[in-house]
């Protein structure tokens, strides 16, 4: 079994040519796909495949290994489109917009005469229009009847509780299952995630604008009409937002890649119903897969030039691409569409894919939302797959830093369901896309009799998480006792029941051999605890857990042999095996800054070092010592400073200096305290 590689060493590589645009979107006019017969001269095919495999990040190869043989992790679909074919198309007067390795095709802007000539080229298989759809703009909605927690959840969800409680997400959150270690890809119209309080925690590993071919996905003057990024900002907040008392997304601890693939209007704001073309979506999906995402949440869909009869899982280009992603280990979760009240009525592409999870929308009372697209597919398969709340969903509003809004649409039921998929994958990272799809469908509330309105029904996060076996918290927690010893706590929930005495903590000290300690019930249901002795500050501990479930047998956490959680005595948190040692030693910018109550001071150590961390006022007077000559191993560290001096007294408003000294080398940052 391949180990889960580190998230933070992923490459945001654009070495693969996902788009040929150098600057700005393609000129106006309809676009067409040009499909080629092959990838060109095959004499060096083996060498080309080996080169592609070397180019792929380790995590992408690990994820592909869940569904592909170890010796065939790359294939013809990973090879670039033949350059000589592209040049021939351009010589006939076409401008290439997007290149797709998977489809062995390019999208072009060309007049009808050029297209006729291109279609006659011996290496061109066919030419067809690039499909389009009216943008699924967020619609305002009335607040739903708010549900209140019936017991303590450990989180303050505010108005977002209703949309999560319907899916039983708060129960998983209470057990420490928050999506850590999972990478989610987003496909939408842009993301202004830095300008809202609900995103200040978010882990964005990379972003790319496929319209303008740069790495900025928020609106930019001269490129985007204001509001271009509204839709994506809202859908992203639905899955990833975290602002206690207001909005908490189901998978707020996951990591994300953001692909901007949709252009809503021109620069003057005209033609608000301007069609959105699918070629950027395909390019974005290929980029996300290349960068190692586990699943994709897409709140976009395509109709024109397709017909309802084309929704057969094999016709639409985006559907073909989405199904191909599943064959490479990526599950695409897509909005079913908002066509229930329109003449089309049925689901839209790529939701028709047999390897795609199509998400419909329900109201807060569980009834189907009138706008939610219906099934079946043109070839008779049940769609949607599942449903989640899509009317009155509470999201971060682009209107301001601390603004929120209620909206409706399958655009928002989709990221809610995708968030549950991320939670399931965080406890069972070995699941393939189809196993993950089955976990969502077979545990939904209508699984016994699925239909073409609700599909398999409302997602049940707890049942889906337990579908493949027992579950543990994503991360354990370490608490220091009054006697100086350590308690290691974690939640463990059985599929049926754990064999008595089988819950075990395996730990090592400073890289030594692992020792076993039996775990006992903690203070709350499903919590277990192991008692360890006292260790000196800076000591590195590693943890693994195991148990025997009466139905599934031995389970281990982390599941991959050799992986372990890391904890440095004196630090506030535990590091997961998916987090790589830092590539350099640095002091991060404190956040928030300026601040009133508490700020986070974080730093990275590339290698083991002696560390001092202090705070000074602007006159050079020492205010607080956080570390003094501590010997720390390589890793990531962080301290919360509540604006207090060494005696616990609140410091005055003003500027303070953070001073980090690592093996004699000094690093500094400024802080501004406001009262």
- The Cα 228–Cα 220 span in angstroms is 9
Rg (CA), the chain: 26
pLDDT at residue 125 in the model: 97
- Which CATH number is 471-568 given? 2.60.40.10
Q: Measure the CA dihedral 226/231/233/236, to 10°.
A: -170
pLDDT at residue 568 in the model: 87
Residue pair 673/595 in contact by the 8 Å Cβ criterion: yes
pLDDT at residue 225 in the model: 76
> What b-and-e string marks burial along 146-182, b requiring 16 or more CB atoms within 10 Å of the CB?
eeeeeeebebebebbbbbbbbbbbbbbbbbbbbbbbb
The parts of the chain modelled with pLDDT lower than 70 are 1-29, 42-44, 133-139, 146-153, 264-276
pLDDT at residue 274 in the model: 46
**CATH superfamily of the domain spanning 159-466:** Peptidase S8/S53 domain (3.40.50.200)
Residue 13's CB is within 10 A of a number of other CB atoms, namely 14
pLDDT tens per residue, range 445-455: 999 999 999 99
Domain ranges of the chain: 31-133, 159-466, 471-568, 586-673
Among the listed residues 291, 229, 214, the one whose alpha carbon sits nearest the alpha carbon of residue 265: 229
Among the listed residues 358, 428, 425, 418, the one whose alpha carbon sits nearest the alpha carbon of residue 386: 358
pLDDT at residue 424 in the model: 98
Per-residue CA distances from 17 to 35, 82, 83, 206, 322 (Å): 16, 11, 11, 17, 19
- The Cα 146–Cα 143 span in angstroms is 8
pLDDT at residue 224 in the model: 79
pLDDT at residue 8 in the model: 44
- The residues facing 605 across adjacent strands are 635
pLDDT at residue 266 in the model: 53
pLDDT at residue 21 in the model: 46
Domain topology for 586-673: Immunoglobulin-like (2.60.40)
Report cis status (omega within 30 of 0) of the bond before 45: no
pLDDT at residue 15 in the model: 37
pLDDT tens per residue, range 540-587: 999 999 999 999 999 999 999 889 999 988 877 899 998 877 778 999
Do 159-466 and 586-673 share a fold? no
Q: Measure the CA dihedral 511/516/517/519, to 10°.
A: 110
Helix or strand or coil: residue 300? Answer: coil
- The Cα 240–Cα 156 span in angstroms is 15
Helix or strand or coil: residue 53? Answer: helix
């Amino acid at each position: 079994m391949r180990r889960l590689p580190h998230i933070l060493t992923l490459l945001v590589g654009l070495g693969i040519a996902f788009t040929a645009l150098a600057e700005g979107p393609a000129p106006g006019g309809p676009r067409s796909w040009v499909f080629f017969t092959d990838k060109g001269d095959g004499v060096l095919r083996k060498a080309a495949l080996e080169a592609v495999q070397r180019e792929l990040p380790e995590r992408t190869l690990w994820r592909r290994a869940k569904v592909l043989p170890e010796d065939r992790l790359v294939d013809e679909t990973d090879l670039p489109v033949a350059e000589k074919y592209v040049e021939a198309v351009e010589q006939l007067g076409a401008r290439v917009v997007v290149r797709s390795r998977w489809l062995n095709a390019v999208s072009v802007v060309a007049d009808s005469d050029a297209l006729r000539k291109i279609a006659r080229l011996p290496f061109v298989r066919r030419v067809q229009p690039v499909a389009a759809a009216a943008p699924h703009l967020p619609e305002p909605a009335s607040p739903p009847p708010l549900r209140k927690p019936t017991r303590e959840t450990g989180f303050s969800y505010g108005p977002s509780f209703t949309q999560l409680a319907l899916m039983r997400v708060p129960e998983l959150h209470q057990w420490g299952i928050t999506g850590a270690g999972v990478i989610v890809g987003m496909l939408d119209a842009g993301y202004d995630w830095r300008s809202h309080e609900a995103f200040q925690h978010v882990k964005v590993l990379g972003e790319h604008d496929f319209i303008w071919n740069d790495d900025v996905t928020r609106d930019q003057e001269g490129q985007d009409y204001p509001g271009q990024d509204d839709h994506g900002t809202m859908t992203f907040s639905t899955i990833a937002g975290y602002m206690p008392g207001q909005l908490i997304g189901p998978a707020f601890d996951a990591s994300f890649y953001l692909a901007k693939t949709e252009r809503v209007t021109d620069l003057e704001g005209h033609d608000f119903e301007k069609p959105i073309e699918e070629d950027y979506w395909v390019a974005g999906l290929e980029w996300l897969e290349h960068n190692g995402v586990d699943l994709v949440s897409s709140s976009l869909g395509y109709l024109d030039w397709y017909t309802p009869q084309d929704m057969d899982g094999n016709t639409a280009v985006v559907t073909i691409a989405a199904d191909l992603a599943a064959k490479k280990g990526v599950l695409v979760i897509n909005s079913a569409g908002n066509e229930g009240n329109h003449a089309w009525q049925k689901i839209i592409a790529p939701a028709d894919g047999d390897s795609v999870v199509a998400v419909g929308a329900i109201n807060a009372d569980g009834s189907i939302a009138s706008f939610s697209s219906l099934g079946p597919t043109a070839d008779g398969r049940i769609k949607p797959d599942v449903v989640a709340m899509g009317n009155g969903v509470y999201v971060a509003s682009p209107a301001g830093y601390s603004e929120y809004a209620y909206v409706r649409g399958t655009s928002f039921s989709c990221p809610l369901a995708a968030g549950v998929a991320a939670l399931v994958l965080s406890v069972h990272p070995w699941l393939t896309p189809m196993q993950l799809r089955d976990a969502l469908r077979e545990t939904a509330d209508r699984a016994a009799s699925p239909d073409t309105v609700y599909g398999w029904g409302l997602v049940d996060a707890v049942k889906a998480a337990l579908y493949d076996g027992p579950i543990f918290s994503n991360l354990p927690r370490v608490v220091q006792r009054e006697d100086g010893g350590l308690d290691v706590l974690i939640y463990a929930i059985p599929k049926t029941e754990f064999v008595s005495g089988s819950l075990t903590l395996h730990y090592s000290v400073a890289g030594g051999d692992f020792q076993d300690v039996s775990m006992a019930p903690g203070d709350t249901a499903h919590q277990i605890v192991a008692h360890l002795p006292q260790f000196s500050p800076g000591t590195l501990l590693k943890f693994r857990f195991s148990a025997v479930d009466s139905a599934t047998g031995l389970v281990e956490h982390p599941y991959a042999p050799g992986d372990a959680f890391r904890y440095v005595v004196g630090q506030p948190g535990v590091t997961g095996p998916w987090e790589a040692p830092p590539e350099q030693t640095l002091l991060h910018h404190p956040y928030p800054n300026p601040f009133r109550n508490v700020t986070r001071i974080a730093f990275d150590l590339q290698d083991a070092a002696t560390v001092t961390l202090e705070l000074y006022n602007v006159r050079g007077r020492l205010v607080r010592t956080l570390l003094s000559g501590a010997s720390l191993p390589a890793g990531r560290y962080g301290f919360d400073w509540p604006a207090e001096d060494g005696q616990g007294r609140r410091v005055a408003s003003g500027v303070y200096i953070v001073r980090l000294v690592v093996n004699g080398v000094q690093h500094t940052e400024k802080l501004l305290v406001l009262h």
